[in-house]
């Protein structure tokens, strides 16, 4: 079976604060030109996307330095649906061994897509991210960010900066964010998430498809 786990890219797409918004503008139309072309403007981390190490690491690899087969992951679904807003996902909540190369954190936060609540998602602790990196796991999440996203609801005990990104991307691992439609997936499946072939990219939108 196949399932699309991708948010469509539209002008209403939720983006990280300060990132470019998605714009879809008619460039040519059937009425005026006899054919249709749409101009797209978006960031490399728009919608359902993958982070390359160069996103946060000055000497990190870009997406085009990874073989295309890297983006067909043997995935393990991790049930994090009990997490509250801005609650950390700790190391003891992760499976060991996972028998996979990608841990998919299923928080159900995609239910808040398009609302302010989407920014107050659970997040992966730096310790848990380092644990994943040590075991050679890439990480995916159905939320905006594996680190806390700054909002007025941020807590005093939250980490500064983006330590989970540094732990994973700094060790040559990949991060997938803004997945959706994870309910009902089996514990183990294949997730294909091929990014746009943009040269020297620090990240890129993907079409994420689960297969089992």
Superfamily classification of domain 2-8+43-211: Putative cyclase (3.50.30.50)
pLDDT score at 17: 97
pLDDT score at 176: 99
For residues 14 and 113, the answer to whether their CB atoms sit within 8 Å is yes
Give the mean pLDDT of 91-118. Answer: 95
Q: What is the pTM of this model?
A: 0.97
Query: Which of 55, 112, 165, 173 is labelled catalytic?
Result: 55
Q: Is 55 a catalytic residue?
A: yes
pLDDT score at 47: 98
Six-digit token string for 158: 């939250």
pLDDT score at 80: 97
Q: What is the pLDDT of residues 112-125, one digit of tens each?
A: 999 999 999 999 99
């Amino acid at each position: 079976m196949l399932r699309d786990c991708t948010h469509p890219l539209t002008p209403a797409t939720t983006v990280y604060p300060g990132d470019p918004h998605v714009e879809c503008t008619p460039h040519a139309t059937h009425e005026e030109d006899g054919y249709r072309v749409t101009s797209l403007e978006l960031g490399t981390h728009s919608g359902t996307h993958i982070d390359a190490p160069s996103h946060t690491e000055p000497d990190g690899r870009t997406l085009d330095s990874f073989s295309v087969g890297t983006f067909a992951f043997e995935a393990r679904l991790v049930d994090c649906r009990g997490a509250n807003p801005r609650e950390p996902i700790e190391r003891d909540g992760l499976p060991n061994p996972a028998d996979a190369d990608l841990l998919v954190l299923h928080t159900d936060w995609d239910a808040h897509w398009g609302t302010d609540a989407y920014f107050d998602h659970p997040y992966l602790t730096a310790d848990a991210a380092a644990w994943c990196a040590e075991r050679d796991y890439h990480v995916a999440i159905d939320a905006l960010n594996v680190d806390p996203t700054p909002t007025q609801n941020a807590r005093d005990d939250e980490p500064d900066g983006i330590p989970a990104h540094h732990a994973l991307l700094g060790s040559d691992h990949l991060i997938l964010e803004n997945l959706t439609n994870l309910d009902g997936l089996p514990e183990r499946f294949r997730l294909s998430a091929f990014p746009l072939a943009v040269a020297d990219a620090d990240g890129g939108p993907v079409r994420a498809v689960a297969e089992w």
